[in-house]
Amino acid sequence: MTDESQESELEQAIEDATQAVAVQANELPELSDGTPSGAPLGLSGVMNVPVRVTVRVGSTQLKLSELVSMAPGSIIPLDRDAHEPADIVINGRLLARGEVVTIQEKYAVRITEVL
């Protein structure tokens, strides 16, 4: 195949593709005037979506040997002081801070700051 025939075939392929796109574009329906129909979504439409809430009181880094040597009663020191607020993370995103409290012998968190 010569360079001229390859170039001719390439030009024909491009022309065929252009025609196919033009035909598809002509088949698209006309857009409406943009007036919404139906009830608006609003917040009520998403209020029942479940989200994961995580409370982080601190973290640390340990060697594997330290971790496997732990037993009930072992203490893991964290990177925060006792008076520092805990992070409230919603779906992986830090959104608030608060203090850990107990309510009827269960842990809870009182929100002190919304970020």
In whole angstroms, what is the distance from residue 112 CA to residue 98 CA?
5
Q: What is the pLDDT of residue 104?
A: 92
Position 86: which residue type? A
Q: Sort strands 93-103 and 53-56 into parallel, antiparallel or unpaired.
A: unpaired
By percentage, how much of the chain surpasses pLDDT 90?
A: 40
Which ranges in the chain belong to alpha helices (H)?
3-26, 64-68
In whole angstroms, what is the distance from residue 99 CA to residue 51 CA?
20
User: Three-state SS across 79-96?
Assistant: CCCCCCCEEEEECCEEEE
Tell whether the model's pLDDT for residue 56 goes beyond 60: yes
Residues 23-55 pLDDT 10s: 555 566 776 677 767 766 677 777 888 888 999
- Give yes or no for a contact between 90 and 111, defined as CB atoms under 8 angstroms apart: no
Length of the chain: 115
Give the pLDDT band (50/70/90) at residue 71: very high
Q: What is the pLDDT of residue 4?
A: 73
CATH superfamily of 48-114: SpoA-like (2.30.330.10)
Cβ neighbors of 54 (< 8 A, separation 6 or more) are 88, 89, 90
Q: What is the pLDDT of residue 112?
A: 93
Q: What is the pLDDT of residue 43?
A: 75
> What are 107's strand-pairing partners?
102
In whole angstroms, what is the distance from residue 15 CA to residue 10 CA?
9
